[in-house]
Chain A
Amino acid sequence: MTQQNSNNTTSVVLVGVGGQGILLASAIVAQAALDSGYDVKTNEIHGMAQRGGSVVAQIRYGEKIYSPLIPKGTATVLASLERVESLRYVDYLAPNGLAVVSDQIIVPTTVSSGAASYPTLDEETLRKYFPRLVYVRAVEQAAELGNARAANTILLGSLSTQLDLSLDAWEGAISKRVKPAFVDVNLKAFHLGRELAQ
C-alpha cells in the first residue's frame, strides 16, 4: 500500500489556511512515524505567512532522511483543509499518490476585493487533478462528532490508510499531541476518516 520513492522515504504534504490546525496535524503524523522507529524530518511555515495566508507542512520519514523539504512529484499523500489550497500544491503529489480534500471553502480577501475569483471546484473537477481522491465534508462531520476543530484529524484518518504506520502508533500520537479533553473526539474523527477512505 505504501508508496515510496527510490530512497525509501515516505512524504506527506498537509496544506490549508493559517489557523486551521495544520501544525497540530503535522505534529501527529511526525509523532506516529517517530514512535514507529523511523527517522523523521518535518518543515513548517512560520512568521509572516501565518497571518491568514496559505500554509504548508511537510513530513518525511524512512530509514534515513536527508532533506526535510519534499521534492515535487514525490509525496505519498496530500491532505488539504481547503479546496483551492489543494490545487496550489498539486505538483508535490506523486503520480499515484492519494489526495484527501476537505470541501471547506475559505474565501481569500483577494476574491472579496474583486482582484481575483474563486474557481468552481466541485468533487468532479477536483478528480481531474487528483485521480485518487477522498473528498470529505470534514468540518460538518467533525461538528457532528462534537467538535468542528477535529476536521483535520478526519483527514489524517483518511491519509493514514496509505502509510505503513500502525493503528497503535496513530492512536498513541493523537493521545500525546492533542489536549486531553479533546482526545476522544479526535480518535472518533480519525476512525471516521479511515472509514471514508476505504
Chain B
Amino acid sequence: MTKQLLSGNEAIARGALEAGVTVVSGYPGTPSTEILENIGKFYGDKMFAEWAPNEKVAFETAAGASTTGARSMTTMKLVGLNVAADPLMTLAYVGVVGGFVAVVADDPGMNSSQNEQDTRLFAHFAKVPVLEPSDAAEAKAFTLAGYEISEKFGTPVILRTTTTTSHSRGVVELADPIALNRTPSFKSDPQRFVPIPAWARGMRVRLEERLEKLAEEASNSPLNRIEWNASGDRRVGIVTAGAAYQYVKEVFPEANVLKLGWQFPFPDRLFREFAAQVDQVIVIEELEDFLEEHMKALGINAIGKRLGDEKLVPNIGALDVDVLKEIRAKLVANPATAPLFDAQTAVEIAPTTELPTLPALPARPPVLCPGCPHRGFFYALKKFDVVVSGDIGCYTLGVAPPLACMDTVLCMGGGFTVAHGIDRAKNDRPVVGIVGDSTFFHSGITGLLDVAYNKGGATLVVLDNRVTAMTGHQENPGSGKTLLGEETFAADIAEIAKATGFKNVVEVNPRDLAQTTAALKTAIESPEPWLIVAKEPCPLAYRKKIEKIYRVDQDKCKKCGACVKLGCPAIERDADKTVRVNPAFCVDCKLCEQVCKFGALEEIDVKMGGLV
C-alpha cells in the first residue's frame, strides 16, 4: 500500500475517488477549499468536479446527481451550510439514491470565518447523520464510510471537519478506487421525490424511523470505539470526538476513552454502556456541549463545560494540548474530582523558562498584498463621507488601518443588500455597497436585482479582480475558466446589471485613482442607483513579469507620509520617517506615484533595484 502525507482535505478528496464518487460541486471557503481543489487537480479526469456560484447550487447539484444512483459530494465551509440549509432540510425527508456526502468544514477559533457555528447542531436540526474524523487517515476512511451509511439508509450524510483536521497532514494509506460500475438512471417515482404535503407527511414518519435505525447502527459502528486502558483502572471515562481526541490521548494517557467518529444520531446504547463501567464521565468536545447535553438528558452524570461553579472545557475557540493541560490541572485541583487521578501521572504544564520580558512585538495582521487593485479603490473611497457596507473576501481587509474604509460586514451578498437597507431608511449620509466578483455571482446578483426593481438609490460597487482570491484563487463564473481549467463563457457583470434594469453602469480601473474618484463622485451624488465595476486582475493570480519597480528619491521626498497611507506592504517607513520601497515586494502598480505630490517615487528598471 502506498503511504502518503496528506492534509485532511487532501484525504477527503482521495476518499471521494476511492468511494467511486462521480459528481462533486462546492463553493470555496476556508478551511474547506482544498478538497475540491485537489479533486480538480488530481482526479478531474475521473469525475465531474465544479465550482458552483454558491453552496445552495452546489448542494442541489450533488443532490440531483444522487437521484440517478451516482455517488456525489458537495463541499463548503461552516457558513456555506447556512446558504445550503434549504435543500438540506428537505433532502433529509426525501432521502437519497446514490450515496450523498456533504463535507462541511467548521472553524473553531475563527481563523478565517465570521462566526464559530457548530455544524453538529445543524445535523441534529436536519436529522441527518454527522461523521467527524480526528486526523487525515480518518478523513479518508470516514469519507468512504459516509457513502456506505448514506446508501444503506438512504440518507444524506454530513462529514464535518474542523480547521485543525482539514489543514493538518498525517500519514494516509491509499487504496484502489471501488469499481461501482453504475449506469446513472433516474427512476421516476413522484411519491418518493416530490414532497408535496400529502407525501411529505409520510416522509416525515419514515425520517424518524430512519433515525432510530441510524442510532442503533451508530452504537455498533466501528467509527465509534471504546479504548479501555490496560491497567483496568475504571475511574475516568472521557467521551471525545474529532481533533479533541488527539489532545485527550496526550494529556489523559491513563483514561478510558469513548472516541466518537459518528456523533449523531446519538449512539445512546454505547453512551450508557460506557458510563455504566466508569466512575466519572468527562466530555471533552470542541465548541458546543452537543454530546454532553444529550448524555445528561440520558441521566448520565457527565462533567464537561463546567466543573461545579467553574468553567472547565471552553465552548469558545479551538482546543489544543495546552488547553487540555489546564483542564486536567483544574480536575486534579478540585476536591470533587481529585480522587479520580493519581498524583504521579500528572501531566506537566508547559515548562517555565526564565526569560527576560519580551519587547512589545508589532502586530503583523493579514493585509492587502502589494499591487492589490482593491487598495486603489479604497484609497479613492476614503475621500468621501459615506457609509460603506462591505462583504466577505480579500477586500474585507479594507477595514484595517490605514485604509480603514468599511463600516459594516454581515454575510456573503450582504454588501449590496445591507447598503440598500441603509439607503431605504433615509440615512443622513449616502451609502456605498461593496461586493467582490465571486461574491457578486454567489448572492450579490439578487441584491442588485432588488435595488433595481425597488428603485433604490445606493451606490453599488463590484471589486472585480477576476478570481475568487481570498480562498486561494479559484475560478468563478466571471473568470472564463472552469475548475478543471477548461475555457468557458465569462459572465459580464456590467451586462448583468444592465439586464436587471441598471441604467448607470460604469467600469473603472481601480489603479487609476483619478478615474475611480470621478466615478465615485458621480455615483454618490446621484439620486439614482449606480453600479461601478472596479476591474483589475489580482496580481497574485495573474502573475506578470515585473520589469519595473519603484524607488524613493530621498532628495525629493518630504517625508509627508502620503504614500504610507496606502497601507502597501512594499512601502516601509523607519522611525525617522524615512520611506523606502522594498524591491522584493513592489509589483509596479503605480499607486504610490499617483499619491506623491513631490514626484519622489520614481519608476526604475527592476535590475536597478538590486534584484536579478
Q: Indicate whether A110 sits within 8 Å of B167 (C-beta atoms), given known contacts A48-B111, A71-B321, A115-B401.
A: no
Q: Given the complex of chains A and B, what is the CA–CA distance between A84 and B472 in angstroms? A: 26
A89-97, A160-168, A178-186: which lies at the interface? A89-97
CB-based contact A69/B164 at 8 Å: yes
Q: Given the complex of chains A and B, what is the CA–CA distance between A90 and B321 in angstroms? A: 17
Q: Distance in Å from the Cβ of A97 to the closest Cβ of chain B? A: 10
Q: Given the complex of chains A and B, what is the CA–CA distance between A90 and B353 in angstroms? A: 10
B50-58, B168-176, B424-432, B515-523: which lies at the interface? B168-176
Q: Distance in Å from the Cβ of B485 to the closest Cβ of chain A? A: 20
B546 on the interface (CB 8 Å rule)? no
CB-based contact B364/A54 at 8 Å: yes
The chain A residue sitting closest to B358, CB to CB, is: A87
Q: Given the complex of chains A and B, what is the CA–CA distance between A162 and B168 in angstroms? A: 23
CB-based contact B170/A41 at 8 Å: yes
State which residues 1-56 of B face A: CB under 8 Å: 3, 5, 7, 30-31, 33-34
Q: Which residues of B contact A67 (CB under 8 A)?
A: 243, 246-247, 249-250, 320-321
CB-based contact B364/A46 at 8 Å: no
Q: Given the complex of chains A and B, what is the CA–CA distance between A121 and B365 in angstroms? A: 20
CB-based contact A45/B169 at 8 Å: no
B369 on the interface (CB 8 Å rule)? yes
Q: Which residues of B contact A44 (CB under 8 A)?
A: 7, 167, 169
The chain B residue sitting closest to A82, CB to CB, is: B364
Q: Report which of B164, B361, B471, B569 forms a contact with A119, defined as CB distance below 8 A.
A: B361
Q: Quick one: CB contact mask for A120-134 with B, threshold 8 Å, 1 for yes?
A: 110000001100000
Q: Given the complex of chains A and B, what is the CA–CA distance between A90 and B363 in angstroms? A: 15
The chain A residue sitting closest to B372, CB to CB, is: A51
Q: Given the complex of chains A and B, what is the CA–CA distance between A74 and B571 in angstroms? A: 37
Q: Report which of B171, B368, B567 forms a contact with A113, defined as CB distance below 8 A.
A: B567
CB-based contact B171/A51 at 8 Å: no
CB-based contact B350/A71 at 8 Å: yes
Q: Given the complex of chains A and B, what is the CA–CA distance between A95 and B572 in angstroms? A: 35
CB-based contact B322/A71 at 8 Å: yes
Q: Which residues of A contact B420 (CB under 8 A)?
A: none
B297 on the interface (CB 8 Å rule)? no
Q: Quick one: CB contact mask for B182-204 with A, threshold 8 Å, 1 for yes?
A: 00000000000000000000000
Q: Report which of B168, B358, B573 forms a contact with A68, defined as CB distance below 8 A.
A: B168
Q: Indicate whether A45 sits within 8 Å of B250 (C-beta atoms), given known contacts A39-B171, A52-B569, A116-B363.
A: no
Q: Given the complex of chains A and B, what is the CA–CA distance between A106 and B571 in angstroms? A: 11
Q: Given the complex of chains A and B, what is the CA–CA distance between A69 and B350 in angstroms? A: 14
Q: Which residues of B contact A112 (CB under 8 A)?
A: 564, 571-573
Q: Given the complex of chains A and B, what is the CA–CA distance between A113 and B363 in angstroms? A: 12
Q: Given the complex of chains A and B, what is the CA–CA distance between A50 and B575 in angstroms? A: 26
CB-based contact B350/A91 at 8 Å: yes
Q: Distance in Å from the Cβ of B456 to the closest Cβ of chain A? A: 31
Q: Which residues of A contact B567 (CB under 8 A)?
A: 109, 113
The chain B residue sitting closest to A92, CB to CB, is: B350
Q: Distance in Å from the Cβ of A88 to the closest Cβ of chain B? A: 6
The chain A residue sitting closest to B579, CB to CB, is: A112
CB-based contact B575/A85 at 8 Å: no
CB-based contact A68/B164 at 8 Å: yes
Q: Indicate whether A49 sits within 8 Å of B112 (C-beta atoms), given known contacts A40-B5, A112-B571.
A: yes
CB-based contact B322/A119 at 8 Å: no
Q: Quick one: CB contact mask for B356-395 with A, threshold 8 Å, 1 for yes?
A: 1011111111111100000000000000000000000010
B254 on the interface (CB 8 Å rule)? no
CB-based contact A53/B31 at 8 Å: no
A172 on the interface (CB 8 Å rule)? no
Q: Given the complex of chains A and B, what is the CA–CA distance between A30 and B6 in angstroms? A: 11
Q: Report which of B5, B250, B397, B561 forms a contact with A66, defined as CB distance below 8 A.
A: B250
CB-based contact B112/A46 at 8 Å: yes
Q: Quick one: CB contact mask for B249-266 with A, threshold 8 Å, 1 for yes?
A: 110000000000000000
Q: Report which of A30, A46, A107 forms a contact with B167, defined as CB distance below 8 A.
A: A46
B351 on the interface (CB 8 Å rule)? yes
Q: Which residues of B contact A49 (CB under 8 A)?
A: 111-112, 366
Q: Distance in Å from the Cβ of B577 to the closest Cβ of chain A? A: 9
Q: Given the complex of chains A and B, what is the CA–CA distance between A58 and B302 in angstroms? A: 34
CB-based contact A46/B31 at 8 Å: yes
Q: Report which of B30, B397, B569, B571 forms a contact with A47, defined as CB distance below 8 A.
A: B30
Q: Indicate whether A31 sits within 8 Å of B5 (C-beta atoms), given known contacts A41-B169, A108-B362, A128-B356.
A: yes
Q: Given the complex of chains A and B, what is the CA–CA distance between A7 and B251 in angstroms? A: 11
A72 on the interface (CB 8 Å rule)? yes
CB-based contact B361/A87 at 8 Å: yes
Q: Which residues of A contact B250 (CB under 8 A)?
A: 7, 66-67, 71
Q: Distance in Å from the Cβ of A31 to the closest Cβ of chain B? A: 7
Q: Distance in Å from the Cβ of A114 to the closest Cβ of chain B? A: 8
Q: Given the complex of chains A and B, what is the CA–CA distance between A34 and B572 in angstroms? A: 41
Q: Which residues of A contact B249 (CB under 8 A)?
A: 66-67
A102 on the interface (CB 8 Å rule)? no
A17 on the interface (CB 8 Å rule)? yes
Q: Which residues of A contact B351 (CB under 8 A)?
A: 73-74, 94-95
Most chain B CB within 10 A, of A53, A66, A94, is at: A66
The chain B residue sitting closest to A112, CB to CB, is: B573
Q: Given the complex of chains A and B, what is the CA–CA distance between A133 and B31 in angstroms? A: 35
State which residues 565-602 of B face A: CB under 8 Å: 565, 567-569, 571-573, 575, 582
A2 on the interface (CB 8 Å rule)? no
The chain A residue sitting closest to B107, CB to CB, is: A47
CB-based contact B170/A51 at 8 Å: no
The chain A residue sitting closest to B168, CB to CB, is: A68
Q: Which residues of B contact A110 (CB under 8 A)?
A: 362-365
CB-based contact B111/A47 at 8 Å: yes
CB-based contact B366/A119 at 8 Å: no
CB-based contact B350/A113 at 8 Å: no
B355 on the interface (CB 8 Å rule)? yes
Q: Given the complex of chains A and B, what is the CA–CA distance between A30 and B367 in angstroms? A: 29
CB-based contact B360/A119 at 8 Å: yes
B402 on the interface (CB 8 Å rule)? yes
The chain B residue sitting closest to A9, CB to CB, is: B250
Q: Which residues of B contact A39 (CB under 8 A)?
A: 171
Q: Given the complex of chains A and B, what is the CA–CA distance between A87 and B358 in angstroms? A: 8
Q: Which residues of B contact A73 (CB under 8 A)?
A: 350-353
Q: Indicate whether A40 sits within 8 Å of B170 (C-beta atoms), given known contacts A94-B351, A112-B564, A112-B573.
A: yes
Residues of B within 8 A of A (CB): 3, 5, 7, 30-31, 33-34, 111-112, 135, 164, 167-171, 243, 246-247, 249-250, 320-322, 325, 350-353, 355-356, 358-369, 394, 397, 401-402, 470-472, 561, 564-565, 567-569, 571-573, 575, 582
- Ranked 5 nearest A-B pairs via Cβ: A47-B30, A47-B112, A73-B350, A68-B168, A116-B362
9 contacts across the A-B interface (CB closer than 8 A): A34-B171, A40-B169, A42-B169, A47-B470, A67-B321, A71-B350, A114-B564, A116-B363, A119-B360
Other CB < 8 Å A-B pairs besides A43-B169, A68-B170, A109-B567, 10 of them? A31-B5, A44-B167, A51-B366, A51-B368, A51-B470, A66-B250, A67-B321, A110-B365, A112-B572, A120-B359
Residues of A within 8 A of B (CB): 7, 17-18, 30-31, 34, 39-54, 65-69, 71-74, 84-85, 87-88, 90-91, 94-95, 106-121, 128-129
